Structure 1
Amino acid sequence: MRVEIWSDIACPWCYVGKARFERGLAAFPHRAEVEVVHRSYQLDPDRAKGDTEPVTAMLTRKYGMSEARAEAGEDALGEQAAAEGLAYRTRGRDHGSTFDMHRLLHFAGAHGRRAELLDVLYRANFAEERSVFGDDERLVELAAEAGLDADAARAVLADPSAHAAAVHADAREAALLGATGVPFFVLDRTYGVSGAQPAEVFTRALDQAWGGRSPLVTPVGADGDGQEAGQQCGPGGCEVPREG
């Protein structure tokens, strides 16, 4: 079975959702026969490479929320991340273009290191103090940390066309499959799970896809059993965790 996951490094629910999916996959009896493929999705595709700003400033400017609400949302996301054993800095993070990171991820995929680089980028963006945006040498360091050749990674970043077509192709494919936000999971191109669902939902989806039964969740969000769509980030912003 192949599971494709569309995500963006700037998306906190992708960070949380990846951990939840991995827990769900660990409980799946046929997990050794599941191939996981990570695909690119940019939440802010029109942002210029050097256009970087604090996350809270972006939220207040782009989505019209108050600074207090933006900070409360970050605090709630930090709690969700902590519940999955993930570190999450609720203050002082930056937001910017992820295009070069996605190009590097495709480069890493060609060398069998895409999952490793994705983990490194997530940790750097959400848990560490140094920004991943607007600093090519920082990205080179992270690529090397993921086991990639630093000079080759530097050459990719120096050529804006390198792997760009693959990033755009992933985005077009996500749109064709009905994705309106991320994370977005597609099982064997038949079953779609939208958002950072609980681990047990992913396990049930894998069971149903393996057995060829009706889909648990459709690609557009909700299923016939009334299961709510998981939390996502999309063009309108990232959902704030519900209390309780």
Structure 2
Amino acid sequence: MRVEVWGDINCPWCYIGKARFDQALAGFEHREDVEVVHRSFELDPHAPRAARPVIPLLAAKYGLSLEQAEAAEGHIAENARGEGLPYLSGGRDAANSFDMHRLLHFAKEQGRQAELLDVLYRANFAEERSAFATARLVELAVEARLDGEAAAAVLADPEAYADAVREDEATASAMGATGVPFFVLDRRLGVSGAQPVETFARALEQAWESQVPLPLIPVGGGDAQACGPDGCALPQQ
């Protein structure tokens, strides 16, 4: 069985949703027969390449004061830490993620996609040092046990894996995905948002047993936290 996961490194609910899905998968009886493929989805394809502090970005996007934006980030941090994930609620930045997605496609060819994704999420959400500069991305690729020179060559060529990223995004659009994380199980069931572990566990069981063809069957509540073109869902205070 194949599970495809659309997400963006800039999306905190993708970081949290991955942890919840991983927990569900770890308890799944047939986990050794499940292939997980991570697909590209840019929340803001037009975001500048230069990294900018997250708190002012949140304040501007949602019409919040800086103090309210800090509180919102703090609530997301609580959700992350509840899943055992490190999360830096202040001092982070954000930038265009296209190069990260290209590098993840390269890592997939090398059999190291999951490892690189974990490294990128941790670098973006748990470390003060920016994860978006080219030199830093090469370092993170090496940390994920990829060849540094090969990773640098990918990043130096703006067309390398660019079509693969765009194809992932076109597929998500065709499936009706408007936000991430978006999980598709065997192209039979769709799960949107950072659902509870129990929902992912039920979806795995249902997909394993189901022979229902497309269209996708939505699983789980429609109010699970997710990120979309207009921003990320903020926990209620």
| Same fold, TM-score > 0.5, yes or no | yes
Matching of residue 201 in structure 1 with residue 199 in structure 2: yes
Pair 1:105 & 2:104 matched = yes
Q: Which runs of 5+ in 2 are unaligned?
A: none
Matches within 5 A, 1:176-187: 176-187=174-185
Distance 1:241 1:61 in 2: 17
Secondary structure of the corresponding residue to residue 193 of structure 1? strand
The question of whether the paired residues in 2 share the 8 Å contact of 1:125 and 1:131 is answered with yes
Q: Deviations over 1:2-44 (max 9, x none)?
A: 0000010010000000000011111211111111000011101
The root-mean-square deviation of aligned C-alpha atoms, in Å, is: 1.6
Cα distance in 2, alignment partners of residues 14 and 74 from structure 1: 15
Q: 2:236 aligned with 1:232, yes or no? A: no
Q: Match for residue 19 of structure 1?
A: 19
| 8 A Cα contact 2:190 2:219, kept in partner | no
- Aligned partners of 2:189 and 2:219 also within 8 Å: no
The residue aligned with 2:124 is 125
Paired residues of 1:208 and 1:214 also in contact (CA < 8 A): no
Q: 2: distance between equivalents of 1:89 and 1:25?
A: 26
Q: Which residue of 1 aligns with 2:59?
A: 60
* 1:213 Cα offset (Å): 7.0
1:241 equivalent to 2:235? Answer: yes
- SS of equivalent residue, structure 1 residue 6: strand
SS at match of 1:29: coil
* CA separation of 1:222 and 1:200: change in aligned 2, threshold 3 A: closer
| Secondary structure of the corresponding residue to residue 38 of structure 1 | strand
Contact 1:9 1:122 in 2 (8 A): yes
TM-score w.r.t. the length of structure 2 is 0.95
Question: Which residue pairs with 1:39 in the alignment?
Answer: 39
| Structure 2 residue aligned with 1:210 | 208
TM-score by length of 1: 0.92
Aligned-pair distance for 1:119? 0.4
Matched, 1:85 2:79: no
Unaligned runs of 5+ in 1: none
More divergent stretch after superposition (59-68 vs 90-99): 59-68
**Bigger mean CA deviation after superposition, 205-214 or 74-83:** 205-214
In structure 1, the residue matched to 2:157 is 159
- Deviation string 1:29-60 (CA, Å, 9 cap, x unpaired) is 1111111000011101012323x211111112
CA distance in 2, matches of 1:48, 1:165: 20
Tell me the amino acid that sits aligned with residue 184 of structure 1: F
Partner letter of residue 198 of structure 1? Answer: P
- 1:165 Cα deviation from its structure 2 partner: 0.5
Query: How far is the alpha carbon of 1:214 from its aligned partner?
Result: 7.1
How far apart in 2 are the matches of 1:105 and 1:212? Answer: 30
Residue in structure 2 matched with residue 6 of structure 1 by the alignment: 6
AA in 2 matched with 1:190? R
> Cα offset for 1:241?
1.7
Identity %: 60
Q: Secondary structure at the match of 2:124?
A: helix
